[in-house]
Amino acid sequence: MRAVFLKKFKEPPEIVDFEPDWSLSIGEVLLEVEMSGLCYRDLLTVEGYFPRTRLPIILGHEIAGKVIAIGEGVTGFKPGDRVASLTYIPCGKCRYCESGNENLCKQRLTFGEDINGSFANIVKTHERSLIKVPDSVTPEGAAIAACVTGMLLRALKHVARVKQGESVLITGAGGGVGIHAVQLAKVLGCRVLAATSSREKVKRISDAGADEVLLSDDMMVDEVKQLTGGDGVDVVLEAVGQPTFGKSLRCLAWGGRMVVVGNVTVSSVEVPLGLIILKANSIAGTIAATKNDLEEALRLTAEGKLKPIITVYPLEKIHDAMERMRQKESVGRILLKP
Ligand SMILES: [Zn+2]
Ligand SMILES: [Zn+2]
């Protein structure tokens, strides 16, 4: 077994060969990892922004794999099943889990932070985290179904409650989250304005379906106003955080809603309360996906409505992949193949 271990915060993770103990408890499932997504959250974990992370730990929480063994009491899965996992194992008992909001479960165990993750050949999970993958969905599509496309379904459909015909501004539109948000907002029938800091990414974002692509520079607010007849957009999906927050807030129409899903600089922002009140805007955060979101994301992928835009690195090239992400060089999600 080969795995990427984080042993100490702020130090590069290490690739380690070892023989783990694979005994399974009730409900547990062993997966052969087919593909794993690299998330900005992994970079923040390495930097120590999640200080409760249990070191040493195998990183990786975006998981597509094949069942190779099941523990006692597992009823929903058998060896050979192709599966996608939530980014965490929900407790299954709390009020959030019982009401279908397991993404808010306070007892959830997050891969790569509380329990060993998927930057490895094999990962151990519980059947509560798993959904079967339709035959027509590739490991690439399955690997982004929890933290990218499923999370975005939660953000756009359930938190922002976008309606057909509404306008949506997406920041960080060339990134792994942003470019799939462009696709999903189109699937949901919206007019999509996509903002990026990188001129080189404009064509790829446009190809992904954006109606307008603009640079997230000082002209962004004026451009958005111009493109919306002076009104601003109904919804902002803020996938960047502090660097674009102030501008994207001013892009909102009266009554407009913002959903924040990214926080790349981990710094605070100023919120002009007068403006929020005057324009009756709302700002919401959201995290992860529920099993229903994961299932719907896989279905939309099977139907060809969501198409993974990805770059695959071998697991051994983890350091190159992380550097590429840090430099914001890649378009779409970076995946690691063990
Ligand atoms: Zn993630
Ligand atoms: Zn729970």
CATH 1.10.10.10 fits 149-285, yes or no: no
Percent of the chain with pLDDT over 70: 100
Distance 271 CA to ligand 2 centre (A): 32
Which residues neighbour ligand 1 (ion) by CB within 5 Å?
Answer: 39, 41, 147
Distance 127 CA to ligand 1 centre (A): 20
pLDDT of residue 329: 86
Q: Of 3.40.50.970, 3.10.580.10, 3.90.180.10, 3.40.50.300, which CATH number belongs to 2-144+308-337?
A: 3.90.180.10
Determine how many CB atoms are found less than 10 A away from the CB of residue 298: 24
Determine how many CB atoms are found less than 10 A away from the CB of residue 279: 17
CATH 3.90.180.10 residue window(s) in the chain = 2-144+308-337, 149-285
pTM for the model stands at 0.97
Mean pLDDT of the region 12-35: 95
3-state secondary structure of 176: helix
The two three-digit tokens of residue 27, written as one number: 């409900």
Q: What is the CA radius of gyration of the chain?
A: 20
Distance 168 CA to ligand 1 centre (A): 22
The two three-digit tokens of residue 258, written as one number: 């913002």
At position 274, the amino acid (one-letter code) is G
Distance 87 CA to ligand 2 centre (A): 14
Q: Which ligand is nearest to the CA of 63?
A: 1
pLDDT in tens, 201-241: 999 999 999 999 999 999 999 999 999 999 999 999 999 99
Stretch (H or E) spanning 189: none
The rounded mean pLDDT for the chain is 97
Whether the CA torsion 259, 264, 266, 268 is positive or negative: it is negative
Distance 92 CA to ligand 2 centre (A): 5
Q: Which ligand is nearest to the CA of 103?
A: 2
Q: Which ligand is nearest to the CA of 36?
A: 1
Q: Which of 63-67, 299-303, 328-332 has the lowest mean pLDDT?
A: 328-332
Distance CA 101, CA 269 (A): 28
Distance CA 42, CA 39 (A): 5
Distance CA 183, CA 207 (A): 10
Distance 30 CA to ligand 2 centre (A): 21
Which residues neighbour ligand 2 (ion) by CB within 5 Å?
Answer: 90-91, 94, 97, 105
Distance 106 CA to ligand 2 centre (A): 6
